[in-house]
């Protein structure tokens, strides 16, 4: 059982308890536990096995939860969940996937109309019976019908951040062309830099809300109007993405932007802190908890005003996940997060010598145009035969060309870019690396990656990676877990062991910036930082255009709380060159 498996069981339990009408406090406790567990990099089994520690040391895990975790680890099951699952129709979980239908509403439909499947819900909507249930209306009924089709369709997949970002840029450009829009910003998971985005959330201030909504619906890319009101509308836009737009008053813009940026967990914490200060807080701003309060409620036109009124520093959206950000903001200890402009080099990229689309010279010129001071050319090694990987002879020839290119560049101008002779060497299935040590020893920069034998057992995969970490020529482990978002899960690897070994050997770990990799992810990168491992944010570009994904890697690093000190390629060339000197180990 991985931590994610255990967390999923508690999430399911929370859903079913809520469905069952259990009190909100208990439901929230299970959801909070699921989050703590999912965020925990160390395996629960290891913590339990350690005599000096206890599961109850984890935030929000009391004796009862610890006992339940123990049962799950021992048996793979959670008896309370089994018992509850037995009592509800099997299709309740399908119904819970419909956007906008929480456990409580699903319960009303099940009890009120005998709904027990997506089909029977559709029938009830078409028959106009849903609008008769308390709290539902004609509009909700229509919304359910549309969302039903969506749940059944394939479009339900969450979009990669970069794809969502494209849609955000387009819709903002369109909306900013509307004269009635005073201000409009994007919020939600997009603004928090999440690796995938479910729907896009926009918040606007308008001189004429009706005109703004009309403009929104009239957009060329609007394929469907899901909901249409004066303060809130939802459309379906490019890539089948839902886009929600709220119009708010300017005086509450900060409160609304904060609210719709989320996350939900962050909002809950901010709101409870507001209560401690004697205010209630929602998307409309602060209100006194007791109407005849003496003081005027704080203003909420900007996010900073809202945070400051609660004794908090403004919190970057990437950190708003309900982890420890409020405590850090209260103590003015928020990390100064790394920014894209801090990045001075790019240390993983390919050329037409293997599976890249652009030549060595083009990649170098592209990198120089991006203002980089140094790059490493790291084409594939021979094992990657599909990509025409380099054997020793071809690699040495490429390195000769790089030597000559560096001379030309140095002669060309005042701020030449330095090109490092690198290689992305494969960790072989049987162990060992794909090129001789005497070749690797001559490289300026070696990335070791695992591309083959991904279904080997955990011990094998972990051992292969540990071996590479300890190899004297290897500087960094490329895309350490191998996951491809929405396509392929990570291979089975003991990341705790990888991080510990990297810390010990002084080997770096990559944050691969490719939008479908983002590997390390935010949890692993945060754990690596805590262990004292430094990271390299790399584009793994296969074309000049591919160099542009650096910002996706930086976002992920920010979500992990990384500062420029944690990021090796935030060093200027001189410092980086010093770091490349012979290693002590």
Residues that bind Zn ion (CB under 5 A): 424, 540
- The nearest distance, CB 536 to Zn ion, in angstroms, is 12
424 binds, among ligand DGT, Zn ion, Ca ion, none (CB under 5 to 8 A by kind): Zn ion
Site for ligand DGT contains 147 (CB under 6 A): no
Cβ neighbours for 138, distance < 8 A, ≥ 6 positions apart: 131
- Kindly state whether residue 507 participates in binding ligand DGT, applying the rule CB under 6 A: no
Nearer to ligand DGT, 188 or 478 (CB): 188
CA distance 150 to 240: 9
Interface residue with ligand DGT, options 197, 203, 205, 419 (CB under 6 A)? 197
Total chain residues near ligand DGT (CB under 6 A): 14
> Whose structure tokens read 């001789």?
436
The residue (of 259 and 445) whose beta carbon lies closer to ligand DGT is 259
How many whole angstroms separate alpha carbon 55 and alpha carbon 6? 13
Closest Cα partner for 123 from 100, 148, 105, 106? 148
189 part of the interface to ligand DGT, by CB under 6 A: yes
Q: Mapping DSSP to helix (H, G, I), strand (E, B) and coil, where does residue 538 land?
A: strand
- Nearer residue to ligand DGT within complex by CB, 108 or 563: 108
- Give whichever of 259 and 374 is closer to ligand DGT, judged by the CB atom: 259
Rg, the chain, Cα only: 26
Q: Does 345 bind ligand DGT (CB under 6 A)?
A: no
Residue 540 site contact among Ca ion, Zn ion, ligand DGT, none (CB < 5 to 8 Å, cut-off depends on kind): Zn ion
CB 338 within 8 A of CB 563: yes
CB-nearest residue to ligand DGT: 262
From the list Ca ion, ligand DGT, Zn ion, none, partner contacted by residue 522 (C-beta under 5 to 8 A by kind): none
Pairing of strands 196-197, 159-160: antiparallel
Contact between 162 and ligand DGT by CB under 6 A: the answer reads: no
**Nearer to ligand DGT (CB atom), residue 462 or residue 516:** 516
Residues in contact with Ca ion by CB under 5 A are 188-189, 199, 201, 244
Q: What is the largest CA-CA distance in the chain?
A: 82
CA distance linking residue 98 with residue 103, whole number of Å: 10
Taking the CA atoms of residue 344, residue 348, residue 352 and residue 353 in that order, the dihedral angle to the nearest 10 degrees is: 120
Mark the segment that binds ligand DGT (CB under 6 A) among 189-197, 230-238, 326-334, 352-360: 189-197
In angstroms, the CA 180 to CA 383 distance is: 59
Q: Rounded to whole angstroms, how far apart are CA atoms 180 and 349?
A: 45
Residues 434, 470 contacting (CB under 8 angstroms): no
Q: What is the Cβ-side half-sphere exposure of residue 217, based on CA atoms within 13 angstroms?
A: 14
Q: Which of 262, 316, 322, 422 binds ligand DGT (CB under 6 A)?
A: 262
Instruction: Find, among 394, 442, 387, 393, the residue nearest to 420 by Cα.
Output: 442
Listed residue (313, 347, 328, 339) closest to 562, CA to CA = 339
Would you say 284 or 573 has its CB closer to ligand DGT? 284
Structure tokens at 513: 């910036």
- Stretch of 107-115, 194-202, 296-304, 397-405 lying at the interface with ligand DGT (CB under 6 A): 194-202
Identify which of residues 143 and 375 has a Cβ nearer to ligand DGT in the complex.
143
Question: In terms of CB distance, is 380 or 551 closer to Zn ion?
Answer: 380
Return the exposure string of 271-283: e unless at least 16 CB atoms fall within 10 Å of the residue's CB, then b. eebbeeeebebeb
Query: Among residues 237, 230, 236, which one has the least CA distance to residue 213?
Result: 230
Compare residues 201 and 424 and give the one whose CB is closer to Zn ion: 424
* Partners of 233 in beta bridges: 228, 245
Site string for ligand DGT, 62-91 (x = CB under 6 A): ------------------------------
CB of 367 to Zn ion, least distance (A): 15
- In this structure, the number of other CB atoms found within 10 A of the CB of residue 25 comes to 7
Which one of ligand DGT, Zn ion, Ca ion, none interacts with residue 379, CB within 5 to 8 A by kind? none
Find tokens 């982890």 and name the residue: 323
Among 39, 195, 199, 522, binds ligand DGT (CB under 6 A): 199
- Is 269 or 460 the residue whose CB approaches ligand DGT more closely? 269
CB nearer Ca ion, residue 217 or residue 275 = 217
3-class DSSP assignment, residue 279: strand
Judged by beta carbon distances under 5 to 8 A according to partner kind, the member of Ca ion, ligand DGT, Zn ion, none in contact with residue 444 is: none
188 binds ligand DGT (CB under 6 A): yes
From candidates 201, 321, 342, 566, binder to ligand DGT by CB under 6 A: 201
Q: Residue numbers of the site for ligand DGT (CB under 6 A)? A: 188-189, 194, 197-199, 201, 259-260, 262-264, 267-268
């Amino acid at each position: 059982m991985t931590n994610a498996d255990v967390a999923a069981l508690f999430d399911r339990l929370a859903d079913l308890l809520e469905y069952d009408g259990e009190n909100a406090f208990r439901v929230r406790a299970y959801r909070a536990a699921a989050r703590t567990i999912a965020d925990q990099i160390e395996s629960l089994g290891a913590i339990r096995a350690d005599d000096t520690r206890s599961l109850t040391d984890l935030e929000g895990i009391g004796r009862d939860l610890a006992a339940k975790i123990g049962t799950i680890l021992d048996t793979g099951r959670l008896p309370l969940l089994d018992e509850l699952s037995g009592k509800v129709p099997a299709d309740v979980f399908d119904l819970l996937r419909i956007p906008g239908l929480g456990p409580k509403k699903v319960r009303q439909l099940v009890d009120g109309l005998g709904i027990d499947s997506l089909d029977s819900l559709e029938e009830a909507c078409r028959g106009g019976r849903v609008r008769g249930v308390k709290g539902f209306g004609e509009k909700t009924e229509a919304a359910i019908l549309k969302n039903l089709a969506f749940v059944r369709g394939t479009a339900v997949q969450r979009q990669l951040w970069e794809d969502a970002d494209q849609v955000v840029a387009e819709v903002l450009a369109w909306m900013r062309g509307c004269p009635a829009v005073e201000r409009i910003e994007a919020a939600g998971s997009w603004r928090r830099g999440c690796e995938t985005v479910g729907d896009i959330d926009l918040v606007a201030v308008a001189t004429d809300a009706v005109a703004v909504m009309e403009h929104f619906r009239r957009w060329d890319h609007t394929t469907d109007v899901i909901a249409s009101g004066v303060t809130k509308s939802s459309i379906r836009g490019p890539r089948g993405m839902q886009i929600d737009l709220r119009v708010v008053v300017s005086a509450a813009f900060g409160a609304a932007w904060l609210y719709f940026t989320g996350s939900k967990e962050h909002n809950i914490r901010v709101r409870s802190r507001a209560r401690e200060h004697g205010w209630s807080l929602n998307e409309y701003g602060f209100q006194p908890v007791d109407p005849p309060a003496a003081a005027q409620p704080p203003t909420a036109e900007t996010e900073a005003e809202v945070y400051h009124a609660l004794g908090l520093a403004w919190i970057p959206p990437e950190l708003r996940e309900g982890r420890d950000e409020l405590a850090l903001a209260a103590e003015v200890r928020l990390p100064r997060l790394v920014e894209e402009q801090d990045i001075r080099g790019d240390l993983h990229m390919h050329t037409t010598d293997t599976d890249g689309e652009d030549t060595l010279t083009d990649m170098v010129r592209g990198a120089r145009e991006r203002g980089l001071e140094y790059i490493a050319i790291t084409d594939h090694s021979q094992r990657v035969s599909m990509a025409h990987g380099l054997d020793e002879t071809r690699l040495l020839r490429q390195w000769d060309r790089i030597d000559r290119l560096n001379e030309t560049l140095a002669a060309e101008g005042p701020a030449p870019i330095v090109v490092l002779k690198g290689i992305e060497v494969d960790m072989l299935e049987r162990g060992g690396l794909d090129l001789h040590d005497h070749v690797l020893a001559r490289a300026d920069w070696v990335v070791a990656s695992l591309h083959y034998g991904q279904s080997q057992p955990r011990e094998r995969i972990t051992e292969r990676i540990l071996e590479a970490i300890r190899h004297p020529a290897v500087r960094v482990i490329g895309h350490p877990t191998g996951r491809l978002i929405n396509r392929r899960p990570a291979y089975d690897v003991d990341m705790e062991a990888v991080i510990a070994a990297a810390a010990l050997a002084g080997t770096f770990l990559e944050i691969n910036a490719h939008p479908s990799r983002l590997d390390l992810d935010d949890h692993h990168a945060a754990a690596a930082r805590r262990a004292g491992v430094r990271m390299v944010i790399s584009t793994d570009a296969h074309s000049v255009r591919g160099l542009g994904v650096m910002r996706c890697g930086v976002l992920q690093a920010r979500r992990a709380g990384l500062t420029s000190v944690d990021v090796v390629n935030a060093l200027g060339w001189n410092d980086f060159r010093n770091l490349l000197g012979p290693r002590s180990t």
